[in-house]
Amino acid sequence: MKPPALVIGGIDIKEQRRKLIVDRPTIIVGTPGRIKEMIDKEWISLASVNTVVVDEADKFCCSSAQQNQSGVKFFEDMACLINLARQSKEV
Edge-to-edge strands, sheet with 5-7: 5-7, 27-30, 51-54
More confident residue, 35 or 49: 35
Query: Could you give the number of structural domains in the chain?
Result: 1
Q: Are 81 and 52 in contact (CB under 8 A)?
A: yes
Q: Show the domain range for 51.
A: 5-88
CA pair distance 27, 44, nearest whole angstrom:
11
The one-letter amino acid code at 35 reads I
28: left (phi over 0), alpha (psi -120 to 50) or beta: beta
For 58-83, the pLDDT digits (tens) are 655 554 444 455 556 777 887 787 77
Q: What pLDDT digit, counting tens, does each position of 40-52 carry?
A: 999 888 776 666 6
